[in-house]
Chain A
Amino acid sequence: MRKLIVLLFIIAFTVSVSAQDAEQIIQEVDKNISAKSQIAESTMTVPGKRNSRTMTAKSYTIGDEKSFTEYLSPPREKGTKMLKLDKEMWVYSPSTDRTIMISGHMLRQSVMGSDLSYEDMMEDRKLTEMYTPSLAGEETIEGRKCYVITLTAKVNDVAYHSQKMWVDTERFVPLKQELYAKSGQLLKQIRLSDIKRIQNRWFPMKMVYQDMLKDGKGTEYNITHIEFDKDIPANVFSKASLKQ
C-alpha cells in the first residue's frame, strides 16, 4: 500500500513538473516572439502554378491589438494597406480609393494567394493567453534539439483549436508548428528558420507556411528588418492613415 501511494505521488509530481515545464517553455517562447511593439519589413514569396510572386511590405504592430501593414511592391499591390484594430480588419485599395472591411468567413480566405489567411495575420496574442501547453517529448529538428509541446486552446476565439510546436531547447524559439482544427485535421504547417539574435531575443527571420488543404509549395515569409519595442505614433493605427 505504501509503495502504491509513493508511486501515485511520483506520477502526480512528474505530471505537475511536466506541465510546469511546458508552461515555462511557452512563456520563454512568448518572451522571444511577442513584443510591446514591432516595426518589420518583410518579403512574401508565393509560388504559383505558372510563376512566383514576391511582395514586400512594412508592418507596424502594437501588442496584439493594433497592426498596420503597407504593401510596397510589386506595382499591382503597391499602396494596398491593411489595418487591424482589436478584432476588426480593413483593407484599403488605392486603385478604387475604397476601404473595405474584412469580416466573417472572409477572414479565413488566403491573403494575396498565399498560404496565410487574414486570420493568421491578425493573430498576435501570446501563446500563454490562448493555449494550455503540455510537454509531449523531445525531438531533433534540423540538428537542433527541441521540446515537443502540445497546445490546446483554452479560449474560444482562436483560429486553431490545437497546435504541436517544436521549440529549440536552448533558444526557446519554435522551429516547427503544426496547426490543427477541432476535428483533429492538420490545417497548416510552419517551418521557422534563420534564427537571429535581435535586441536580446531570438527571433526566426524566415517562415515557410504550408496550407495542408492546398496543393501548393508553401509561402515563404522573410523578415528583412525588424525592430522591437519602438514608439509608434497612435495615428498610424487609424482608418485615416489608410488613405494617406
Chain B
Amino acid sequence: MHRFLWKGIIRDRSRSLLPVLVVTIGVFAVVFSYGYIQGMLDNMIRTTADFQTGHLKVVTRAYLENEEQKPNDLALLGVDTLQKKLTEEFPEVEWTPRIFFGGLLDIPDSNGETKAQGPVSGTAYDLLSPGSHEARRIGLQQSLVAGHVIQQSNEIIISYDFADRYQVRPGDTVTFFGSTMYGSMSFANYTVAGIVRFGIGQLDRGAVILDISDARLLLDMDNATGELFGFLPGGLYNKEQAEHVKESFNRQYTDVTDEYAPVMVQLADQDFMGQMLAYMDIVSLAMVILLVFALAIVLWNAGILSGIRRYNEFGVRLAMGEEKKHIYRTLLVESLFIGIIGSAIGTALGISLCYYLQDHGIDYSAMMDSVNMMIDPVIHARVTPELYFIGFIPGVLSMLIGSALAGTAVYKRNTAMLFKELD
C-alpha cells in the first residue's frame, strides 16, 4: 500500500506540491534561523569571553562588588602564586592576567608639549610571555591597520579611531597619564607599535593595548592584576564545565572573611550573559513552537483544499467499500511521506546555507558603528547537530497534524448519499 501511496504522491503533483513547498519553506526558515542565531550567540559569547569576561574569571571580592568601575586599588595581589595554584588544580583551563585601566593619552609636539590629548581605556594582555595565546585570542594580528603587534617593552597599540582623530602614526611617541593602583600619578612614554581596528565599536573608540609587564610598571601593580581570566580547552565555552570549576574553587574560600580573598565567576554570571543565554534558549524554543503551530494551520487549510479537490476520489473509494478509517489512515501515511520529503528538502537547504554562512558570514559593520555590544560585526552561522532535527521533526509533525485535522471530513460523508453526490 505504501508503494501505491508513494506513486500517487510522485505522479499527482497537484496533490503533493503545495504541502511539500509549505513544509520545505517552513523547515528551511527554522533551520536557517536557528543556525544563524547559534552563530550570532557564539559570536557574542566568544567576543565577550575573549575581551571582557573570559570563560572564568578570578577577582577579589571587593573588586567584584564594584566591577563596573574596574577598581585596580582592589586588585589581586600575589598573582604568580595564585596562577600556579589554579594551573595545578585545573590544568585544563588556561589562566591569564588582564588589567583594565583608564587615563589620558597625550601626543606631544616637536617641543615636547601637548599637541593633542584624549581619554583612553586601556587593556593589558600578556603578549610577550613565551607561549602566550593572548595575541591570537583577540585577533591582534588580523586587526592591525598599520604597524606591527607589540614586540618589546614600552610599545603601545592604539585604536584606529583615536589614531585617526589625533593624527598618530606607528613610530610616534605618546605619553600615558593616569594613576597607579594606589592613586599616585603615573606617567609613561610609549612608542606606537601599531594601530588596530577590531570592528567592535566599544573597542575602537578610544582603546589602547599594553603588554601586562608594562602595565604593571605603569600602574604600580607588581605581581598584581585586576582580573585573572580562565579559558576552557579549545577556547569553547561550556556552561556546566565552567560552573564545576567555579564551584570547586570557591568552596575553598567559603570560610574566609577577607574582602580581598579571591572569588571566581563564570561567563554566565557576568554582564547579563546568563540572562542573554537563557533568552536565546527561549527564543529558539518559541521559534519551533511557532513553526509547528503556523505550519499546522497552513497545512490544515491545504488539506481541506485537497480534500475538496479529491472529493470525488474519496466518494468513489467509499462507494467501492473502502472503510473511512482506512482512507483516513492512507491520508495520514501520505502526509507522513509529504512531511518527510518537505522536511528533508527544507533541512538540507537550511543546513547548506548555514554551512555557507559558517565560512563566509555577513558583515554588518556599516550598521554597527554605534552599537555598544561586544560582538564581531561579521556574523557567521553555526552548523550544530540540532539543525538536523530542529526543523525536521516539527515539519513532519505539522504536516501530520494538518492532515489529521483536514481528514476528519472523510467521516462526515454519508455512504447512503454517495451515488447521489457522484451524479
Is A110 a contact of B183 with CB atoms below 8 Å? yes
Dominant SS among interface residues on chain B: strand
Which of B25-33, B112-120, B328-336, B361-369 participates in binding chain A? B112-120
Contact of B188 among A50, A53, A77, A95 (CB under 8 A): A95
Quick check: is B204 within 8 A (CB to CB) of the other chain? no
Task: Give the residues in chain B near A98, CB-CB below 8 Å.
Answer: 106, 108, 112, 175, 187, 189
Determine if B220 is an interface residue (Cβ-Cβ < 8 Å). Answer: yes
Q: Is B185 an interface residue (CB 8 A)?
A: yes
CB neighbours (8 Å) of B106 from chain A are: 98, 100-101
Q: How far is the CB of A22 from chain B (nearest CB, A)?
A: 38
Q: Which residues of B contact A112 (CB under 8 A)?
A: 179, 183-185
| B residues near A97, Cβ cutoff 8 Å | 112
CA distance A97 to B182 in the complex (A): 22
Q: Tell me whether A93 and B187 are in contact in the complex, defined as CB-CB below 8 angstroms, given that A49-B73, A100-B117 are known contacts.
A: yes
State whether B189 touches A101 (Cβ < 8 A).
no
Q: Which of chain B's residues has its CB closest to A106's CB?
A: B104
Q: In the assembled complex, which residues on chain A have CB atoms less than 8 Å from the CB atom of B187?
A: 93, 95-96, 98, 100
In the bound complex, residues from chain A placing their C-beta under 8 Å from that of B188 are: 95-96
Q: Is the CB of B114 within 8 A of A46?
A: no
Pair B184/A77 contact, Cβ less than 8 Å: yes
- Would you call B179 and A96 a contact (CB within 8 A)? no
In the bound complex, CA of A48 to CA of B73 (Å): 8
> What residues of chain A lie closer than 8 Å to B185, measured between beta carbons?
77, 80, 91, 93, 112
Interface size on B, residues (CB 8 A): 24
A51 CB–B CB distance under 8 Å: yes
Instruction: Report A-chain residues with C-beta under 8 Å of the C-beta of B74.
Output: 49
B183 touches A100 (CB 8 A): no
Task: Verify if A63 is at the interface (C-beta below 8 Å from B).
Answer: no
B residues within 8 A CB of A110? 179, 183
Is there a chain A Cβ closer than 8 Å to B37's Cβ? no
Chain A, Cβ-Cβ closest to B106: A100
A96 B183 Cβ-Cβ under 8 A? no
Q: From the candidates A49, A96, A99, A113, name the one contacting B113 in the complex (CB within 8 A).
A: A99
Give A30-55 interface residues, CB cut-off 8 Å to B.
46, 48-51, 53
Q: How long is the Cα–Cα vector from A76 to B188 in the complex, in angstroms?
A: 12
Least Cβ distance of B155 to chain A in Å?
A: 15
**B-chain residues with CB within 8 Å of residue A100 when the two chains form the complex:** 104, 106, 114, 117, 175, 177, 187
Contact in complex: A99, B114 (CB < 8 Å): yes
Residues of chain A within 8 A of B112, CB atoms compared: 97-99
B184 x A76 contact (CB < 8 A):
yes
A114 within 8 A of B: yes
A101 x B117 contact (CB < 8 A): yes
| A-B contacts, 13 listed (Cβ < 8 Å) | A48-B182, A53-B182, A53-B184, A76-B220, A93-B177, A98-B108, A98-B189, A100-B177, A101-B106, A101-B113, A101-B114, A110-B183, A113-B179
Hey, which bits of chain B sit against chain A, CB under 8 A? 62, 73-74, 104, 106, 108, 112-114, 117, 119, 175, 177, 179-180, 182-185, 187-189, 220, 260
Given contacts A50-B182, A98-B187, 16 further A-B contacts (CB under 8 A): A49-B62, A77-B184, A91-B177, A91-B185, A93-B175, A93-B185, A95-B188, A97-B112, A98-B175, A98-B189, A99-B113, A100-B104, A100-B114, A105-B119, A110-B183, A239-B113
